Amino acid sequence: MDSPLKIVTHSPEETRDLGACLGSAASEGDVFLLNGQLGAGKTCLTQGIATGLGVQAYTRSPSFVIATRYQGRCTLHHIDLYRLEDPMEIWDLALDEVLGRDGVGVVEWAERAQGMYQVDALVVTLGQLDGPSSRLVEFEDASGRYRPHLEAIHGQFPTHAKS
């Protein structure tokens, strides 16, 4: 399989379906680092991941909370670093103790905490692509830990032809 794996979605629903596929393949200790600009679809993908993990509650990015926990077949730690005002706040979140241990971790605006924790993560980058409803979603699995996840996605979604 090509690395990174590139998928195009054409609607928010498709991005949620892609997230659900990833969430279904996820297990304890997995960490998904989401990057991409405002409105790229990070929360949308997270909603799908939550569905795939069997979370019933609606997943969103609350106004003043950086870290939220949801219960599905395992815990989902949803961390959104957008509202981080002072980089030092990251240390208060103790991400090293939250990510890669119990449950599944999803971090929006993960670039803002780059190098501040050590985890074997799947890096997911979302970006706009020809028109308002298309998104290019790239999955980078540096270690190979996420190969089964990417195979599941590869089997269900057509890959992006252009490189």
First to last CA, the chain: 14
Contact 149, 143 (CB under 8 A): no
- State yes or no: cis peptide before 87, omega within 30 of 0: no
Q: Which stretch binds ligand ATP (CB under 6 A): 9-17, 89-97, 98-106, 154-162?
A: 9-17
User: Does the footprint of ligand ATP cover residue 19 (CB under 6 A)?
Assistant: no
User: Does the footprint of ligand ATP cover residue 39 (CB under 6 A)?
Assistant: yes
Element (H, E) at 7: strand 5-9
Give me the amino acid identity at 33: L
Neighbouring C-alpha atoms within 13 Å toward the C-beta of 154: 13
User: Does the footprint of Mg ion cover residue 68 (CB under 5 A)?
Assistant: no
Shortest spacing between CB 47 and Mg ion, in angstroms: 10
Contact pick of 5, 26, 33, 40 for ligand ATP (by CB under 6 A): 40
Cross-strand partners of 106 = 32, 78
Quick one: 61 or 68, whose CB is closer to Mg ion? 61
Contact 118, 96 (CB under 8 A): yes
Show contacts with ligand ATP in window 99-138 (CB under 6 A): 108, 133-135
Choose the one of Mg ion, ligand ATP, none that binds residue 103, judging by a C-beta under 5 to 8 angstroms depending on kind: none
Binding site for ligand ATP (CB under 6 A): 9-12, 14-15, 36, 38-44, 61, 82, 108, 133-135
